A = this chain, B = another copy of it.
């Protein structure tokens, strides 16, 4: 006797890396970044109803593995993500991720998805959504310090969502800059490769720092940053890893996602625990001011928060049926009589 076929409830739609890449091209990368930014902004607007917790991190010598759960009361989501700066030398990704959505009322999973590609997209969409609220309104030029895996996504999100037209690129490894130049060629941005960070940030309205070293670094020092810019600092995202000199923080108005997490992981880990910050959801809902003057330096100290992943998974889930870009995984045991798990197991004997 062969095993009885599992019922529909036993199946969880799974979006593989291949299907995620197909989904990006089906939707179009700029449209997808815009869609993700809208989904994230929507969830920031209803920030208060989310169940929020700092990510649960397991640190080791080589890196960190994190679980990032959240729930809006209807849907529960979490992401598994690692950060291993040494991976690159081994030919591996620094960051890989996958995530899951489940219905709160039954606890049954409803989506499992790769999130390495999706995290790159949601990180860029978040940055650009934030920059649309905080950057100078006529921002056209962005500097990107750190031309790794995140750089092209940042570039296209800032183009699609904020109207950036010029990009000034710097990396300590010129091959990284060459790679980013090559990838962005023909995608509608004018590109300048720069040989120093100072050169890159010259005339930039937005400065994005996305370097990967796991250490305290000063990618930007105070004298480099002029009045009125928006700094999008997303590379400092775990304890012991920062990108900006603390004097820049003192001169800036700092905007963050979730204080209990960012105070530990973000640029502001360098500052006293009562260093003033503004929560982004309050800017988005209009309950706190964003940029208030042309000369103000606004700084997004972005570390990535679970709600952004939740929004991104929601976006993917909303496109499953129309695209068919998923496969069903037999992941949930579903006996006809829920008390009869053992009977199901016995009947599966070949």
* A98 interface residue per 8 A CB criterion: yes
Q: Determine, out of A148-156, A247-255, A293-301, the stretch whose residues face the partner at the interface.
A: A148-156
Q: Mark A118-156, 1 if CB is under 8 A from B, else 0.
A: 001000000000000000000000000001110111000
B348 and A21 form a contact (CB under 8 A): yes
The distance from the CB of A131 to the nearest CB of chain B, in whole angstroms, is 19
A105 and B24 form a contact (CB under 8 A): no
Contacting residues, chain B, for A350 (C-beta < 8 A): 22, 25
Contacting residues, chain B, for A16 (C-beta < 8 A): 329-331
Q: Which of A3, A71, A331 has the most CB of B within 10 A?
A: A331
Contacting residues, chain B, for A38 (C-beta < 8 A): none
Q: Which of A84, A93, A117, A151 has the most CB of B within 10 A?
A: A93
A69 and B58 form a contact (CB under 8 A): yes
Quick one: closest B residue to A61, CB to CB?
A: B105
Instruction: Determine the main DSSP class of A at the interface with B.
Output: mixed
Q: How many protomers of this protein does the assembly include?
A: 2
A147 to B337, CA, bound (A): 13
Contacting residues, chain B, for A333 (C-beta < 8 A): 17, 93, 96, 114, 116-117
The distance from the CB of A143 to the nearest CB of chain B, in whole angstroms, is 18
Q: Determine, out of A75-83, A194-202, A231-239, A275-283, the stretch whose residues face the partner at the interface.
A: A75-83
B107 and A96 form a contact (CB under 8 A): yes
Q: Mark A82-105, 1 if CB is under 8 A from B, else 0.
A: 111001101111101010101011
Q: Which of A25, A76, A116, A339 has the most CB of B within 10 A?
A: A339
Q: Mark A5-35, 1 if CB is under 8 A from B, else 0.
A: 0100110001011100110110001000000
Listed A/B pairs (10) with beta-carbon separation below 8 Å:
A25-B350, A53-B56, A62-B106, A92-B106, A96-B108, A98-B109, A117-B341, A117-B345, A152-B342, A179-B337
State the A residues within 8 Å of B (CB): 3, 6, 9-10, 14, 16-18, 21-22, 24-25, 29, 51, 53, 56, 58, 60-65, 67, 69, 71, 73, 76, 78, 80, 82-84, 87-88, 90-94, 96, 98, 100, 102, 104-109, 114, 116-117, 120, 147-149, 151-153, 176, 179-180, 182-183, 329-346, 348-350
